[in-house]
Amino acid sequence: MEKQSPFSGSTLLVNAQPPTRRQSRARRFFFGGLALITISYLAAPHFDALPENIPVWQPDHQERFKAGCVQPDPIFPSKDEDLDKLQDFIATETFRNASIARLSGAVQVKSESFDDLGAVGEDPRWEVFYDLSHYLAGAFPLVHEKLLVEKVNSHGLLYTWKGSDESLKPSLLMAHQDTVPVPPETIGAWKYPPWSGAYDGKYIWGRGSSDCKNLLIAELEAIELLLSANFHPKRTVLLSFGFDEECSGKQGAQKLSAFIHERYGDDGLAVIVDEGSGYQEAWGSRFFLPGTAEKGYTDISITVRMPGGHSSVPPAHTSIGVLSELITNIEANQGYPTRLDDENPYYSQLQCGAAYSPGFPKKLKKLLSHRKSSSHKCKAKPDYLALEAAKQNQYTRYLMQTSQAVDVITGGIKINALPERVTVTVNHRINIGETTQVVRDRLTDLAGKMAHKYNLTLHAFDGKEEPSSIILTETKDVLEVAPVTPTDASVDGPFKVFAGTTRAVQGEDVIVAPGIMTGNTDTRYYWALTKHIFRFDPGYDPEDPTGGFDNGIHTVNERVSVAGHINSVKWLTTWVRNMDEAKF
C-alpha cells in the first residue's frame, strides 16, 4: 500500500512484511534526522539559517521602525516673561564670562580621588573636598541661601529645592566632585597645567573640566539662574554630588543614595539625570543618546601557585609560564558572543536609524525588518543583525558583547628564585541580556583545562587556596546589568519630556534615541529610587561635536568647550521647567 509523505509530497512504500533489523535502524536514522532538520528549520529565523539570502525589505517596514522610535514634538516651557529672559541672558557675554570664571575656579581645586583612600575623617587626602564645597558656596550664593544644603558622610552634597506640590515626585540632578589623579610624570605633556583652569578663547583646560565639574557647575548655574528669575517650582528638585565616583562611589554616592532613599523610599523619585553620553553623528543624522542602560561589571583574579626553588634548575613551565598560557587562551578566544538583546538600547537606536537616517545601511535595514524577538532566537546560532551592526567599529561591537581586558599582573620577586605565586586580574563589562555568571562559568572552564594539563588543583570561587593550584576569585565590586529605562516617547513620561526638551534646545531635526553606557556611573546606587535614569551630557558644541570623550577625559590635556558648557546650562534650565509642568 502507499502513503503520502507529509514532508515532501513524495510517495513512500509501506511494506506488508515486517522490516529487517537493518531496515528498521536505517529508517530510524532517516526519519529522526529528517524530523530534526524540519524542527530546526521551523524554529529558527530564516535569515539566521540563510544569512546570504535575506528577505527583501518592504516599504511598510518604515512605519514599523517609526513606531519603534517615536520623536515627540519639541517641548517648550509655558511663556513667562522673566523666565523667558533667562535664555537670552545665557547667550550674553556677561553670563559667558561669569560661567568661564566659575568653571575655571572649580577646576583649580585639586579634588583627586585615589583607589587606596582610607576612611573619611582619617585619611587627610579627603580634606580637599572642604575646599571645593567652600568654593561652591561662594560661587552660588542664591543656591546656598534658598535651598536646603545637607552634607552626607562629610563631603557628599545634597541640595533640596522644595516644591509646592507634594503629589509630584522629585526630580534629581547628579554629578561628582572628584577627578581621576594626574600622574606627576605626565604634567609636562599638558598644553596648560592640569589644575590651571586655563581658558584659551574656546576651551577651559584642566583635570575635571569635562569629567565632570562642567556638569556640576552647569547644574548649579541653572538653579542659580532660575532662583534669580523668581522661579518657584511645584516639583521638588534635588541635586546630589558624590565625591569618589572615580573609585567606585562607596563613600559618596552610596551614602547619598541611602540618605535619599530613607526620605523618599522605593520609586520615590520621578527621574534622575547624571553624567553620561551625548551627541553622535551616525548614518547622516544627528543623534542625542542618553544612557538608558549600563553594562554589568566584574573583575576576576586568577592566581597560579607552584613550588619555588632555584632558577638554575627550573621545571619545564614556571607559574608565570602557566599563567601566561592561560591568559593566551583567554584572549585567543573572546568567548562571549556578539548578541543584541531586545532590551539593549542599541536595538532601539538601530530602529531610529532605519526610520529617519538617509545613510542607514541597506543590509542592516533588511536584517532589522525581519528581526524576530531575541527571546525566540536559538542561542547556539549567530545573531546576524548584531554581527552586521558590529562591523561599524570596535566601540559598537562592545555595545552588544561582554568585554574582557587583562589589566593587572603581578608575580615573581627575584631573578634567581622561581615564582611561587602569580596573579592576573581580568576586567569584564557584561552585555545586556547576560549576567556575571557567564564570566565565572567560562573562566572556570578554561582554568580547569589548564589545571588538568599541569596536574594542579582548581579552586574556582570556593574561597580556598593551597599549593600547586589555580585559584579564581571575584572582587567585591560585582555589578549586574542595570535596569533599562523605559523609552517609549509615545506615552507621557520622563523620556517624552527628555526627548522633547532636547529637540527644543538642539533643533527639531535631531533624533533622540536611547543609548547604552559601557562604563558605570554613580547611578549604580540609585536603581531603587526610580525606573527613569538618563546618563547624559547636554553640552553639545556644533564646532566640537565629538565632545568630552575626545577631549582628554582621564588623560592629558583634558578640556571642555565653553560653547558646549553654555548649551548645558540652557538645556538644564529648560529641563527643570518642563519637568515642573509634567503631571506624572
Handedness of CA 449, 455, 456, 460 (dihedral sign): positive
Beta bridge mates, 286? 281
| Active site annotation includes 383 | no
2 confidence band (pLDDT: 50, 70, 90): very low
pLDDT at 29: 35
The answer to whether residue 499 sits within a structural domain is: no
CA torsion 346-352-355-359 (nearest 10°) is -80
Domain boundary among 474, 490, 522: 474
276 in the same domain as 347: no
544 in the same domain as 421: no
Distance CA 320, CA 410 (A): 9
Domain boundary among 414, 447, 474: 474
- 21 or 41, higher pLDDT: 21
314 in the same domain as 300: yes
274: annotated binding-site residue? Answer: yes
pLDDT at 268: 98
pLDDT at 377: 57
The answer to whether residue 488 sits within a structural domain is: no
pLDDT tens string 92-148: 999 999 999 999 999 999 999 999 999 999 999 999 999 999 999 999 999 999 999
pLDDT at 191: 96
The answer to whether residue 24 sits within a structural domain is: no
Res. 1: pLDDT tops 50: no
Q: Range of 329's domain? A: 296-474
| Active site annotation includes 267 | no
518 confidence band (pLDDT: 50, 70, 90): confident
pLDDT tens string 204-263: 999 999 999 999 999 999 999 999 999 999 999 999 999 999 999 999 999 999 999 999
Res. 12: pLDDT tops 60: no
229 in the same domain as 369: no
211: annotated binding-site residue? Answer: yes
176: annotated binding-site residue? Answer: yes
The answer to whether residue 17 sits within a structural domain is: no
464 in the same domain as 336: yes
427 in the same domain as 343: yes
pLDDT tens string 27-70: 333 334 333 323 233 333 333 333 444 444 455 678 889 998 99
CB 551 within 8 A of CB 558: yes
Mean pLDDT score across all residues of the chain: 89
Distance CA 244, CA 503 (A): 33
pLDDT at 73: 97
What is the domain-level CATH number for residue 391?
A: 3.30.70.360
Provide DSSP, 150-188: EEETTTEEEEEE--S-TTSPPEEEEEES-B----GGGGG
Rounded to an integer, the average pLDDT of 537-564 is 85
3-state helix, strand, coil in the chain (%, to 5): 40, 20, 45
414 in the same domain as 371: yes
pLDDT at 566: 97
Distance CA 529, CA 158 (A): 15
What is the domain-level CATH number for residue 284?
A: 3.40.630.10
Neighbours of 13 (CB within 10 A): 7
Work out how many domains the chain is built from and give that number: 2
The letter for the amino acid at 94 is: T
pLDDT tens string 265-302: 999 999 999 999 999 999 999 999 999 999 999 999 99
pLDDT at 39: 29
pTM: 0.87
Between 41-50, 390-399, 408-417, 497-506, the lowest mean confidence (pLDDT) is in: 41-50
Rounded to an integer, the average pLDDT of 547-561 is 83
pLDDT at 61: 73
- 375 or 46, higher pLDDT: 375
pLDDT at 17: 41
The residue annotated as part of the active site, out of 48, 219, 224, 245, is: 245
pLDDT tens string 422-472: 999 999 999 999 999 999 999 999 999 999 999 999 999 999 999 999 999
287 in the same domain as 139: yes
The residue annotated as part of the active site, out of 48, 178, 541, 558, is: 178
pLDDT tens string 462-501: 999 999 999 999 988 899 999 999 999 999 999 999 999 9
Q: What percent of the chain has pLDDT over 90?
A: 82
155: annotated binding-site residue? Answer: no
The answer to whether residue 19 sits within a structural domain is: no
20 confidence band (pLDDT: 50, 70, 90): very low
Grid coordinates of 12 = 513512500
288 in the same domain as 300: no
The answer to whether residue 564 sits within a structural domain is: yes
pLDDT at 15: 31
439 in the same domain as 565: no
The answer to whether residue 58 sits within a structural domain is: no
314 in the same domain as 233: no
436 in the same domain as 328: yes
Instruction: Report which of 424, 426, 419, 421 is spatially closest to residue 466, judged by C-alpha positions.
Output: 421
116: annotated binding-site residue? Answer: no
The answer to whether residue 502 sits within a structural domain is: no
Grid coordinates of 165 = 506640590
